Structure 1
Amino acid sequence: MNNQKGFTLIELMIVVAIIGILAAIAIPQYSKYQARAKISAAIAETSALRTGMEDKLNNGTDVAAATDIGAANATTSNCTLTATGTASSGAATIGCTILNAPAPALGKVVTWTRTAANGWSCATNMTSTDLTLVPKSCGGS
């Protein structure tokens, strides 16, 4: 008796097909996960700068750049940072243009806006279809 051991061609083709189906589902989900992580990182980076902005405005100093309020550089691995603030009116904005991200988040802007009457609020320029990537604390769904 000749007993052969191993896999048949059809068994190998089934395994390859299953792996292909799983990859077709997993890759878009991973891309969404990466975009969501970059947006969260942008919110965290800009949120940390609010304290420096508050300090400058409360001391009567206008702000013209993100480096004025504690950012080491105007560009980080996640963002290109901008910041402006006027002490007399109490109005300020801190922005982050997202860098090095998947397509749904690349080039999008996260903005913290301050008014003397209402305090800080967060917003993005994401389209309505991409708002699921943004945390609810910043206008996401």
Structure 2
Amino acid sequence: MKSMKIVKKAQAGFTLIELMIVVAIIGILAAVAIPAYQDYVAKSKFAAALAEVSAGKTGVDVLMNQDPNAVQADVQSASGLKAASNTCSSDTASAANAGVVTLVCTINGGPATVAGKTITLSRTGAGAWSCDTNLAAADKTKIAGTSCNGS
């Protein structure tokens, strides 16, 4: 019987088509992941700003129980809002008029969909709070959800 020699050839690397397939897969994943990540960052920036300005409601409610016609400086102080922070470039509170107060946060930084937009918390004389924002109509539901939709 003749002996056959089996020659093993070591694989030298990836073929061009294999590399092209990998690059195509990475491209498809990036095309889906980047917009989803931008939405996530915008939502988190908006939520942080809303949490910051919402923290001022308690102090304002306490002040309105004592003086429903407090001046702006007193309302600003009672809210505990800073003039500027990493989240909001300006937090302002209006002077009270029969218990009616407005707290405003202008979002500092973040994606273009939320950068420079405002969150406005409004208090009625009866003490009910409502939230509104100047996000684009298409972004309100996607970013703000039901937390701040003008109601």
**Normalising by structure 2, what TM-score?**
0.83
Q: Is the 8 A contact 2:71 2:95 kept in 1?
A: yes
Match of 2:19 in 1: 12
- Aligned counterparts, 1:52-91, within 5 A: 52-60=59-67, 61-64=70-73, 66-71=76-81, 73-79=82-88, 80-86=90-96, 88-91=97-100
In structure 1, the gaps of 5 or more residues are none
Aligned-partner Cα distance in 2 for 1:62–1:52: 14
Aligned-partner Cα distance in 2 for 1:118–1:66: 17
Match of 2:148 in 1: 138
Q: Which one of the candidate residues 6, 9, 15 is aligned to 1:3?
A: 9
Q: Give the length in aligned residue pairs.
A: 138
Give the secondary structure class of the aligned counterpart of 1:136.
coil
Give the secondary structure class of the aligned counterpart of 2:111.
coil
Shift of residue 137, structure 1, vs aligned partner: 2.4
Q: Is the 8 A contact 2:61 2:127 kept in 1?
A: no
Shift of residue 67, structure 1, vs aligned partner: 4.2
Calculate the aligned-residue CA RMSD, in Å.
1.8
Q: Which one of the candidate residues 119, 137, 146 is aligned to 1:110?
A: 119
* Bigger radius of gyration: 2
Deviation readout 1:97-141 (Å, 9 max, x if unpaired) = 00121011111111100111361101111121111110302118x
Give the secondary structure class of the aligned counterpart of 2:94.
strand
Q: Is the 8 A contact 1:94 1:111 kept in 2?
A: yes
The change in CA–CA distance for 1:118 and 1:59 in structure 2 (over 3 A counts) is: closer
Match of 2:133 in 1: 124
In structure 2, the gaps of 5 or more residues are 1-6
Matched, 1:29 2:36: yes
Larger strand fraction of residues: 1
Q: Is the 8 A contact 1:53 1:69 kept in 2?
A: yes
Shift of residue 20, structure 1, vs aligned partner: 1.0
**Normalising by structure 1, what TM-score?**
0.88
Identity %: 46
